[in-house]
A and B are shown apart, each in its own frame.
Chain A
Amino acid sequence: MDSVYEALVKIVGKDHVSNQPEELFIYSWDLGTTEPHRPDYAISPRTTEEIQKIVRLANKERIPIVPLGGGLSLAGLAVPFKGGMLLDLKRMDSIIEVNERARYALVECGVSQGQLTAYLERHYPHLTHSEPGAPPAATIAGNVAIHGQGDLAHPYGFNSDMINGLEIVLPTGEICLFGSCATGVGWFTLHPLPDVGLFLGWNGTTGIITKVSIRLFPCKKIRGIGMFVVADEELVPEIIYKITHTQMAEDIVAASQAIPPFTSELQHFTINIAADSEKELEFKLEMIFDDTLGEYIREGEGGFLGFIRGLQKPQISKTADWRKGGGFEYVGSIMPIEKYPECYRRGKEISERHGIPYTVLGRCIGAAHAMMFSWTYAFNRADEETIKHAREALHETDDLVLELGGTIWKPGVYGQKLVMERLNANTLNLMGKVKQLLDPNGIMNPGNWEVR
């Protein structure tokens, strides 16, 4: 009998650990183009203490651990490259606390974006969180762990900038708290304690996030999307800059895609606007679309396409079916907004070279401080040739990001290597020391950020 399996059964119960070929098959796959690698065990723990015991077992047995949230990064960040224990964290799905006055939610690591959205809509309709474009099954913890952004990125920045506190199981099994919660006074702020922010952007190689306190924001009674279009991509940076100056929008996204053809080569803006009254809404619409964007309309350079009340729930998974193929992956980057035109043109070239209808998108972060620019490549899961093309396009795009002066957002293994080749030597050295200190046995998500 497999003693590790037996030990895992003792920790989480037999229903929540498997070494059966079916679970090992499913958890070997990322949803993007990354080649599958089978874990030896799939485990769905329920508590932090169970994770602690699993981590201690993994250290004792020198078995890798790969934490998995919603599994929707698409970049192969939770593929068990070296086997081991795949921890599906979605069963840890309690919303522990919503502090209405301090505007934060304390959630376990398996709470999905959709779950928090639904909970707030029902119990705290005047509060919202920054919801990413991913399907609602994406988790809050997974999203902050990869420095995700959401539909409040323009006013409030990265979702990882909205963290008020973290509970982490370290690779050696200790449970650590970060932020005000560490002093036992609640989960309302991450600052001003000494900065030991060693867990975000590391793809689970330095610890497992088990709880997150995430900031909530006012949710106005009316929310909707204003749409604007221009033909000239060179206009996009200045338009974003001007809209951010109004401070009237919640989210600013510019996008272009080959399908449907009538939208191809046009740059479409979706601008989320929120208001508590018709008067406020009218004022904001006027400020943005008349006073700010009116000149483009008058000059014949752009067009107002209307305002739709209500925020359409993101259904990005539809992208996967554009080629009736069930697959897509994208490269995300954090990029100066001025690079939008070149990002668009070069991305379109890469897509065309690989026979993939192009899809690009830029989301404004902060007051035009940067944008998340993404290039999406659809593929047919049943056609190896299209997967190969998508993979090559992704790698070319990783190279492009760095060439254009951006940084790769949540890079996969290929992108991580590119980044590490260019990293400041002392920074890389420090990363190695941190990794060695926190994970002396190298069990955490091996294959990712291999800095040693």
Chain B
Amino acid sequence: MALADFKYGDTIHRCFRCGYCKFPVNWTDVNNCPAYARFRMETYSCGGRLWLTRAWLSDEIGWTDHFAHIMFSCTACKNCEVKCPLRFNVDILNMITAAKGEMVERGMIPAGVKEFLENIQLHGNPYGMAKAKRGEWMEGTGLLPYQGQDYLYYVGCVGSYDTRAQEATKALGAVMQKAGVSFGALGKEELCDGNEVHMMGEKGLFEMVAEKNIAQFGKLGVRGIITLSPHAYNAIKNIYPWYGGQFEVLHQTQVLRDLIRDNKLDISKGFNARVTFHDPCFLGRWSGEYEAARAILRALPGLTLIEMEKNRDSALCCGGGGGNFYIDFLGGSADSPSRRRVREAYETGANVLAVACPTCLTMLEDALKSEELEGKLVVKDISEIVAEACGIAQ
């Protein structure tokens, strides 16, 4: 594809590379682009990627593995889009995603990305694990399969397969069960939501996944969906409508907030801790939901909420988006965004880092170990915190 044929060919040159895309809103540092924070080369900033994309599509540079690494290390956290002061800011992340898509179409993708996409195609999850194992987390929970209840509990790949994330999956299920929410889960019948596939620019595969999910949800008569993960929340709520999928979609934090507000949960056991909350990108910057989690945390007896300096639309991404929780292009360094983020959390004086995303949960817990902060800081999903406040044994 030549530059002229690129969807954003008449816009991409408008990036000045002024650098706003790297900042949090108050300019604390230039490390709010997770890939730039990791590598600190201009190539890894949003502006760098846009200039490289334009050069690639104009044949000024060729494709290399390194170029692909630069592009796919973008976590699609949307910090750049939110911070860019220019009028075309709504498209700058789309430009990067479209460039990834161009690489996908040409078959020019790094091995890890290929493996990720292949696994989705073959197994319906990025890990390459058997579909049959997807529902194993349900065993012994007493949770019901979806059979026309009010809500489908959509767990997602990370919550289904990752053993640490499964604890959050179960906690949310237990809390909703205790509150009397009418819901069921798909277990091994669940398929990847495709959010990361979309962010990797693999439009064809995403369409296939989305259409399969929409068809399955339709066949089952699903009207409302509760997601554990903000990634699934984003895909189903914000992208599936393009493909005809119209559902009432709630993120777990919105459900828990409402249950607490409506006195459907006994949270009297409280949660005695100093807690700081990490905003997930696909809940915050992508979906504009910053307050539900905070409302929950403020409601719990004994809990003191301490904000990190970089919060809400200035939260530093954990580095897991865009499939990076699997391809791990940002790992292996003290500058990795997940390690930076747990340090930021620890500096607040909190002893619990609360998350509302299974990807953030696994990324930050791994980072905690690398930073040797075990025993000083604990990472917990908000579902686990509420479960403890309700006296639900974990």
Instruction: Report A's interface with B, CB cutoff 8 A.
Output: 15-16, 18, 20-23, 25-27, 29, 31, 42, 44, 70-72, 88, 90-91, 93, 112, 114-115, 117-119, 121-122, 135-137, 313, 315-318, 320-321, 324-328, 380-382
Contacts and interface: CB of A to CB of B under 8 A. Distances in A.
B16 interface: yes
Given A137-B30, A321-B87, A18 B41 contact: yes
Contact of B27 (A16, A90, A114): A114
Interface string B1-45: 000000000110111111110110011111000000001111100
B64 A136 contact: no
B155 interface: no
Given A26-B51, A26-B52, A137-B22, A112 B61 contact: no
B40 A326 contact: no
B14 A321 contact: yes
B20 A325 contact: no
Contacts of A31: 16-18
B13 A381 contact: yes
B28 A317 contact: no
- Give chain B's interface residue range (CB within 8 Å of chain A): 35 or more
Given A115-B30, A382-B13, 8 more contacts: A18-B41, A26-B52, A27-B42, A71-B42, A72-B19, A115-B28, A135-B18, A381-B14
Nearest first, the 4 closest Cβ-Cβ pairs linking A and B are A114-B27, A137-B19, A317-B18, A320-B16
B29 A93 contact: yes
Contacts of B86: 317-318, 320-321
Contacts of B64: 20-22
B180 interface: no
Contact of A23 (B18, B19, B29, B43): B43
Given A118-B28, A136-B23, A23 B41 contact: yes
A119 B29 CA distance: 9
B309 interface: yes
Contact of A320 (B18, B26, B61): B18
A152 to B, nearest CB: 18
B14 to A, nearest CB: 4
B214 to A, nearest CB: 38
B70 A16 contact: no
B13 A21 contact: no
B333 interface: yes
A324 B86 CA distance: 10
A112 B66 CA distance: 28
Contacts of B39: 15
B206 to A, nearest CB: 27
A390 to B, nearest CB: 14
B37 to A, nearest CB: 10
Contacts of B55: 25
B30 A326 contact: no
Contacts of A115: 27-30
B48 interface: yes
- Residue with the highest number of chain B CB atoms closer than 10 Å, among A16, A20, A88: A20
A136 B51 CA distance: 20
B14 A326 contact: yes
Interface in B40-72: 40-43, 48, 51-52, 55, 60-62, 64, 66-67, 70
Interface in B331-368: 333, 335
Contacts of B20: 135-137, 315, 317
Contacts of A118: 26-29
A117 B25 CA distance: 12
Given A22-B52, A135-B20, A136-B23, A44 B40 contact: yes
28 contacts: A16-B40, A21-B66, A22-B52, A22-B61, A22-B66, A23-B43, A26-B41, A26-B42, A26-B52, A29-B51, A31-B18, A90-B40, A112-B27, A112-B29, A118-B29, A121-B26, A137-B18, A137-B20, A137-B23, A315-B85, A317-B86, A321-B86, A321-B88, A324-B11, A324-B14, A327-B16, A380-B13, A381-B14
A117 B27 contact: yes
Nearest to A16: B40
A394 to B, nearest CB: 17
Contacts of A318: 85-86
A452 B26 CA distance: 45
A318 B85 CA distance: 7
A119 B28 contact: yes
Contacts of A91: 40
B48 A26 contact: yes
Contacts of B85: 315, 317-318
